[in-house]
Amino acid sequence: MERVLIISQDAEITDSMQREISHSGYDCVIVPMDDVQTVINRQPPHLILVDSSRQLDTSVWESILDLKKQKKLPVMALIAAENIAGLDDYPEIDDFIIYPYDETELFQRVKRLLLKNGESNSDEIIRCDGLTIDLVTCEVTVDGKKADLTYKEYELLKLMSGHRGRVFTREALLDKIWGYDYYGGDRTVDVHMRRLRSKIEDASHTYIETVRNIGYRFIKGDQP
């Protein structure tokens, strides 16, 4: 999963950004400005988002841009409108967004930088309404929180999320996930599906629906 590092001293702004970015399926870490190097060395991010909405500290920026050069990381700035002219001193910054920001614009800019940097591959990561399935690491998260799935639960989710809107019969799921020579009945699918849904769904998220007397379907949703 791509990790976004937010550097800021303003808890109100960072809490909001972390919530929005995590909901989009990214891992989001907040660090104060004096602890950046340690965190980057311990948990290398894929993008650095710097909150400069209140001030544009020269020494902090120089330190961040040094890290950008060393680690080859994209850097994005959150900046107040009155400080835009100051960006001319830092041409290395990849992108910026003006505070107060629009949530959709923030997500799109973060997504664009990650794609541009080559860290996000749409063929390897499936996203839908807060759900993220990393096909390389086999990690599943909902709003940034890891879902602890069994192997069969993961295989069911991967199969169905890769065919959104398609109805799978219980027999088809048994064949594809357990194999044609498996002697278990339809009940096996129902039990695994119930456990899977209990781990990824709640009152705010529904991804799979039961199609009466037939089987199951992964609901079509927006995928960035």
197-207 confidence digits (pLDDT tens): 999 999 889 99
Per residue in 41-90, pLDDT (tens digit) is: 777 788 999 988 876 567 777 888 888 888 778 999 999 888 888 888 88
So what's the pLDDT on residue 34? 75
**Cα atoms found within 13 Å of the Cα of residue 100, Cβ hemisphere only:** 2
Q: What is the mean pLDDT of residues 146-163?
A: 94
So what's the pLDDT on residue 120? 45
Which 3 state secondary structure label does DSSP give 202? strand
Per residue in 113-136, pLDDT (tens digit) is: 888 876 545 567 888 888 999 887
CATH 1.10.10.10 fits domain 125-218: yes
**Measured CA distances, 8 to 75, 117, 123, 136 (Å):** 14, 23, 33, 31
Locate tokens 């808890």: which residue? Answer: 11
So what's the pLDDT on residue 123? 61
What is the number of other CB atoms lying within 10 angstroms of the CB of residue 123? 7
So what's the pLDDT on residue 75? 93
Q: What is the mean pLDDT of residues 108-115?
A: 88
Which 3 state secondary structure label does DSSP give 29? strand
Contact by Cβ (8 Å): 87, 47 = no
So what's the pLDDT on residue 221? 66
| CA 124 to chain CA centroid, nearest Å | 12
SS (H, E, C) 132-163: EEECCCCEEEECCEECCCCHHHHHHHHHHHCC
Contact by Cβ (8 Å): 7, 33 = yes
**Measured CA distances, 84 to 54, 56, 63, 77, 81 (Å):** 12, 10, 20, 10, 6
User: Of 124, 120, 102, 103, which is closest to residue 111 (Cα–Cα)?
Assistant: 120
Which range, 8-12, 86-90, 97-101, is most confident? 97-101
Residue 218: enclosing H or E segment and its boundaries?
A: strand 215-218
Percent of the chain with pLDDT over 70: 92
Per residue in 26-40, pLDDT (tens digit) is: 889 888 877 777 887
Mean pLDDT of the chain: 85
Q: What is the mean pLDDT of residues 185-194?
A: 89
User: Of 207, 199, 157, 194, which is closest to residue 177 (Cα–Cα)?
Assistant: 157
| pTM confidence score | 0.54
CATH class of 3-116: alpha beta
Q: What is the mean pLDDT of residues 147-160?
A: 94
Domains of the chain, by residue range, sit at: 3-116, 125-218
pLDDT at 143 over 80: yes
- 61/104 Cα distance (integer angstroms): 26
